[in-house]
Amino acid sequence: MTASTASIPTFAPLTASSRMRSTGLVMAVASALAFSSSGPFIKPLLESGWSLGAALLVRMGVAGLILSPAFFAAIRRQPSFLKRHWRLLLGFALMPVLGCQLFFFSAMQRMPVAIALLIQYLAPVMLVAFVWLRTRRKPSALVLWGSGVAVVGLVLVVDISGASFDLIGTLLALAAAVCVCVYFVISERAGDDLPPLALAAGGLLAGAAMMGVLCLVGIMPFHAPAVSVVLAGVEVPWFVPLLWVAGVATTLGYALGVMAVPRVGARVASFVGLSEVLFALGFAWIFLAEVPAPIQFAGGALILAGVVLVKLDDLRRAPTPSIPAPAVPLP
């Protein structure tokens, strides 16, 4: 009697690509968590007399110095590193590091913070539209639904009731959103040739140098009084929130972010970045006693639903390796 074979279905173990994507997703969430703590810690300093230029200069400078070993290591390994990548490094410094913060805080001075946040966090939707226009390929239904659900969630999370329209403020917030898009696009190009940490360090150091020039010539005011601020009901000296923002929030935010984007892709990473809004609500609740409204929790759930839809599309498009099952002889 001839023996035939049949395939027994087996569960394929996680491939290196799957593990890399999972790690990237965790990094993206951790980056959003780190970034989200900046606002609640910087806000009391600005309200106590610190100028925006002083806070941003220390924030970028300290973070750049902490990450600088990766930058100089890349230069030692590749003597032509600066010559080959100076455009990306300069672009990263000008837009994701310096431009995003300047545009956003400038918009915040002309319009409610919630509106500025809402416009800036339209960046993931802008990325979807940009790819659609560039490739002339319509996004999948999952991506379109995810974008719509996430935007509705954003509207609910940020309180825009009674807000008035300001053209200049809107343009500034849109410029900040474009800078966020550039952050994800440039970060996606990081790899072995352009190490992510070297990209982050170079951008932060160059951004700090530019901010130093702006402060030196008087374009950006520089005021850094030795004040005390209240966090979580405790009075602390000025350097406590500043060291947290520079040494933890900014350093980890950029470091984990630029490592996550090449692993999960710019689109998924940008939608995961929306969780920064939710984490910021939590930090403001803990440290500034700003209790979120119930509708904001509902908005947070919608943001997470939008992220899940976009991630499901990413999983659907990812190639699934087939592992041949052992042949089992049948009588």
| Averaged pLDDT of the chain | 80
Confidence (pTM)? 0.79
Mean pLDDT within 207-228: 92
Q: What is the pLDDT of residue 321?
A: 43
Per-residue tokens: 331: 């009588």
Residue with tokens 């089992």: 328
Q: What is the pLDDT of residue 6?
A: 44
Task: Give pLDDT tens digits for 24-49.
Answer: 888 988 988 888 777 778 878 888 88
The answer to whether residues 274 and 306 touch, using CB atoms and an 8 Å cutoff, is yes
β-bridge pairing 234-237 and 228-231:
antiparallel
Q: What is the pLDDT of residue 203?
A: 94
| pLDDT at residue 162 is higher than 70 | no
Q: What is the pLDDT of residue 113?
A: 64
The answer to whether residues 120 and 104 touch, using CB atoms and an 8 Å cutoff, is yes
* Top-confidence residue, 183 or 129: 183
Mean pLDDT within 286-298: 72
Residue 125: closest CA among 154, 147, 93, 141: 147
| pLDDT at residue 318 is higher than 70 | no
Half-sphere exposure for 54 (CA within 13 Å, toward CB) = 16
The answer to whether residues 96 and 253 touch, using CB atoms and an 8 Å cutoff, is no
| pLDDT at residue 205 is higher than 90 | yes
Spell out the domain ranges in the chain: 40-317
Q: Is 30 helix (H, G, I), strand (E, B) or coil?
A: helix
Q: What is the pLDDT of residue 165?
A: 62
DSSP classification of residue 235 = E
